[in-house]
Structure 1
Amino acid sequence: MGATDTQPHISRPARRRHRRRTPPGAAPGTLVADPEAQGSSISAIGYDAGRFFEKHDLTVEDVTALKGTAGTLWVDVTGLADIALIERLGALFGLHGLALEDVINVHQRPKFEEYDDQLFIVTRMAPEGRGVETRQMAMLLGQGFVLSFRDDRADCLGLVRDRLRRENGKIRQYGADYLAYALIDAVVDGYFPAVEAIGEDLEALEEAVILHPQEGQIHEVYRVRRDLLDMRRAIWPHRDLVNALIRDDSPLIDGRTRVFLRDCYDHVAQLMDIVETEREIASNLVDVYHSCMNARLNDIMKMLTLIATIFMPLSFIASLYGMNFDRDASEWNMPELGWRYGYPFALGLMAVCGLSMLVYFLRKHWIGLPKTRRRRSRKS
């Protein structure tokens, strides 16, 4: 396998920059939709220990009719283009105007805020595949309901829905606070595959840099470092969010749910440890890359210097016998030119000088015999 075969190809989608759409100086709570936002749709899941229903493509009137018909109601809004629908739904559940503004502006960092008898939570869902673009999910936790808003139809909440559909699931025995925990926990656990994917890229880069350092690899190293920075920026606030929920004395969060929130906090801490470790490896890999490239350059310069040194006496001999002194003017002028074996003697003298210097360099360990590099086997 050639050196180029070990070069990892790490592709990342272009980062989408979030811009705040609310004009500067606008009144608090002003809602301005993103032109690129997807169309809004509503789905709902209602359940308790003995009942369960799931409905899609609902209207605000349908949600009004469903409110209060089940022990816990989960209303999920996908797409944030329809401002009027979101305002009506927010009014139905008593969502504060400032919270509505945070729902529409999807660049929020994970946080937790308390409004009267409701808890407003913002999380950022992990990217899919090998991307680094996170997506916002805002939640409103109230008495007997959870209202969630997502700007993207892709999510990591499929397992939560499956657990709700199972009649004997533990989640069906708890209230809305446990549902909110389950959603947060699913968001946090969704970061593990993304972080592990970056770790695999980093491992491939580490092997390539050590075995076959090339100029283009430094760009991939910096790209991985930037991805890890984005991951850290997304994961770090979740620790403060979960910790605030654990310490909050709101009656909306039961003591049994706080035990599970502590487990979620441990997951966030594990993610942070992994990200920090990989960031340190990436930073050290930059130094390793520069050291390998410098060592490679030093080897090249040393070899060129030795070659030039070997040819110095050969050049002297060649230039000496290239002087055209007239032998008729003096018997001391280039006597070897008239000798029968003068030309073989000059070539032999050059060979002896070159080989003698080469043997001397080898004994001094200034140069070494070429060694076959064996690629380190990777454990599957």
Structure 2
Amino acid sequence: MPNPPDYSWSVQAQQPVDYQVSMVQGLLDPSNSSLARACGADGVRKVRCLVVVDDVVDELYGDRFRDYFGAWNIEAAWQPAPGDETAKTLEQAVAITEAMSAMGILRRTEKVIAIGGGVVMDVVGLAASLYRRGIPYVRIPTTLIGQVDAGVGVKTGVNHGHHKNRLGSYCAPTTTLIDTEFLRTVEPRHINNGMAEIIKMALVKDADLFELLEIAMPVVDAGMMADRNPLSIEIIARAIAGMLSELEPNLWESVLERSVDYGHTFSPSLELRADPPLLHGEAVGVDMAICVALAHNRGMLSKEDTDRALRLMCAAGLPVTDAVFTAELVSEALRDAVKHRDGMQRIPLTTGIGSVRFVNDLTDDEIERGLDFVSQWAAEHREETA
């Protein structure tokens, strides 16, 4: 008998991505329609949404959000959620999907509003991507790290086991609304936390931003970052613009050499193991410090720029060393990063402030020398690192 014919089909499709990131002043003023429009409200017909809000933010701003929604005839189902790193779990994402189900949210015309820091942004985004295989959601980041990093891209995720963001998805919000006024009530440590991601963007992409940070750092605090003064607005806007310009051509990470991974090669392992615990930006700071040392030891970064980079991190209140950050941990973290980066190191290192080059030949000996360099530098500048 003749062989049966072969059957094969080729399927090709493209998924459009279109979302808006906007800096908005007076977001909770009922005369400001930005949030209402993001919810699909016109103030006349009733619309519904599910609000997932960091429980601390709920205490601070919950009444103002409720008043705003009432003024625009928005019926909001309210779901407070923990915003600390221990709550960044699959179980928490599932709990949010259950709130969606209990509300009976419509799949396309009703939205989830995520209000809080980076943890809430990531967990709600994952839940939105999972529920009925995707429903629209809006981000309102209220921390500095949320406003310049977690709130502006399309990545979502939760921690799993001993791994940072091991489970996740790509799920763009419909809108991200950024009001720096929320920063006024952010604790100093969390301002420092967000500064790490801004320093990252300065080191890999924007030397002018780095110089602005050197000028601003002595006066940076929650009030300064909340005020819409020219310096703070330019710092935040440049960080967001730089991040988006790097992400937009590569939203789905088809290209694994990503300059925005600077400071994120070794920090995921450190962040989940540090004792006492570190915030995300603090772990990134320790990671960036060794990357600065590695670049310096390879002759890619001058001594002057090496000192400037480490001094800026310290001025921002970021650690540059940690007792858990040993050569063994760094090497283990690098092995895991190689798996994440499809078999290659793809480590971004600075070639002068504002530019990077990717390396794939980092050795254990270099790691040891990099750690020694940072430890010696920190010892010589003990007052700055205290």
TM-score by length of 1: 0.24
TM-score by length of 2: 0.24
